[in-house]
Amino acid sequence: MVSANEVNASTLRYMLQINRFVVQPCGSAAEALELLDGATFDALLCDWPLTGVERLLDQAWTMAPDMHSLVLAGGLREKPESLVADAVLLRGGCSPAELLERIKVLTARKRGPKAIKKPPMSEIFSPARRAGVA
């Protein structure tokens, strides 16, 4: 969780921790990048506007494409084109319960069997394979 506002950060952290989320707060985008370099996380929560958030989201997506990102924005009407975030929520535009539910949905892991990787059809029906050379 990246937030420069201590009150918002501590409130959100408390709300997530009582719902059994492990939270690692960061005060800046640079601090979050250092933390992301050596660990894995399910989700990245960021305040907007915060200096370096766009760069943080780009680099976080490059480091861990499976990690989800949620931006809590103040003063935005729609998601800017430059943000590489899974969701953008307006600050004050949803209740804490709705925010928590959105985070739960973002971090839910897919259950069930893993997808089986099938060879391309060109390999299955190749003349070399039919001849037993493959």
Taking only the tens place, the pLDDT of each residue in 31-75 is 888 888 877 788 888 877 766 778 888 888 888 877 888 887 776
CATH fold, domain 6-130, is: Rossmann fold (3.40.50)
Q: For residue 68, what are the CA distances in angstroms to 31, 47, 64, 131?
A: 18, 15, 9, 46
Which residues does residue 35 pair with via DSSP β-bridges, in sequence order? none
**Which of 61, 52, 10 is closest to 28 using CA atoms?**
52
10 Å Cβ neighbour count for 25? 16
Output the pTM of the full model: 0.64
For 79, the token pair is 């998601």
Residue boundaries of the structural domains of the chain: 6-130
Do the beta carbons of residue 53 and residue 29 sit within 8 Å?
Answer: yes
pLDDT of the residue at 56: 84
pLDDT tens-digit series, residues 64-116: 877 888 887 776 666 667 677 877 877 777 777 888 888 888 887 655 555 66
